[in-house]
Amino acid sequence: KKSGPIAICTWGFVDANKTAGQFLDAGKPALDAVIAGVQVEEDDIRNTTVGKGGAPDRSGEVTLDACVMNPDGDCGAVVYVKDYAHVAQLARIVMEETPHVMLAGEGAEELAERYGFKKETLLTEQSEKAYKEWLKSPEYKPIINIENHDTIGLLAIDKFGDIAGACTTSGLSYKMKGRVGDSAIIGSGLFLDNEIGGAVATGMGEEIMKTVGSFLIVELMRQGKTPQEACDEAVKRVIERNPNYKNFQVAYIALDKQGNTGGACIHKGFTYEKYENEENTRVQPSHILN
């Protein structure tokens, strides 16, 4: 079966996923589609976990992490980026225009400036207000499902059958200064192999990194598991090694080269979007806890 175009993304990001799907339908390469898709959320100030409007760290600063992968297996990532919202595109610049895979902080910001990215304040009136409220009793307690709006990871298969992916976030709200999560870590927040398929993650980044979740899923698919079976196994890996799993969310979605998709999470409430045959639908993944 020849698959594609297909786009899937974490959480309820209908507009982002449709944008990616429409790029694919227009014959654009998967990498263009995933970046255009996630940019919808990087620009949406209502999303408190991605780009502009993202929650700050506990010192009040918004810092973004993102990565991308293309069908050739090339990848790029940026971490701890201030003042530039389009970090998935910036990760692409790292991939395509530098000899490196990952740039952090000032170095990444200088690259953004050099490539004409728009410099802007990422803290909004709303996110500043929420931060000031949080400061009144500053407790670090990541929320499990932020109204089905959170980090966006997007995977796509284009008309040529090639797979690309992107993942972008402001990280966990009120994280420690300097904290970097899974979303920019190739193999954790995102991994793909154009021969096999791809996976992206959302939720408690520390747990995703400890189990290298997205890489695990792709390798399980390589061994013959379906995307659904592979996602289930990756969630199982997390809960087996951490008895505290009731207190955090981890969710994965995956697709294989044939266009099959799957998703799994710890806590019910996470969903993913799937665009195929010019239609976008919401999919309920499997879950461990109600």
Does residue 150 touch ligand SD4 according to CB under 6 A? yes
CA nearest 250: which of 289, 207, 192?
207
Task: Please identify, using beta-carbon distances, which residue of 4 and 203 lies nearer to ligand SD4.
Answer: 203
User: Could you tell me the two tokens for 231?
Assistant: 């996602």
Could you list the active site residues?
151
Stretch of 50-58, 66-74, 114-122, 169-177 contacting ligand SD4, by CB under 6 A: 169-177
Question: In this structure, what are the phi and psi dihedrals at residue 109, rounded to the nearest 5 degrees?
Answer: -65, -40
Q: What's the N-to-C CA distance of the chain in angstroms?
A: 36
Q: Is 182 annotated as a binding residue?
A: yes
Sequence-distant (6+) residues with CB within 8 A of 31 are 68, 70, 71, 92, 164, 166
Does residue 51 touch ligand SD4 according to CB under 6 A? no
Task: Please identify, using beta-carbon distances, which residue of 69 and 172 lies nearer to ligand SD4.
Answer: 172
Does residue 39 touch ligand SD4 according to CB under 6 A? no
CA nearest 67: which of 43, 38, 47, 41?
38
Q: Is 181 annotated as a binding residue?
A: yes
User: Angle at Cα 44 formed by Cα 18 and Cα 138, nearest 5°?
Assistant: 130
- Choosing from 39, 47, 168, 183, the residue that interacts with ligand SD4 (CB under 6 A) is 183
Task: Please identify, using beta-carbon distances, which residue of 4 and 54 lies nearer to ligand SD4.
Answer: 54
User: Angle at Cα 74 formed by Cα 1 and Cα 13, nearest 5°?
Assistant: 65
Q: Is 202 annotated as a binding residue?
A: yes
Shortest distance, position 202 Cβ to ligand SD4, whole Å:
4
Kindly calculate the radius of gyration of the chain based on its CA atoms and give it in whole angstroms. 17
Shortest distance, position 180 Cβ to ligand SD4, whole Å:
8
Does residue 5 touch ligand SD4 according to CB under 6 A? no
Binding residues for substrate are 179-182, 202-205
Residues within the interface to ligand SD4 (CB under 6 A):
49, 150-151, 169, 171-172, 181-183, 202-205
Binding residues are 179-182, 202-205
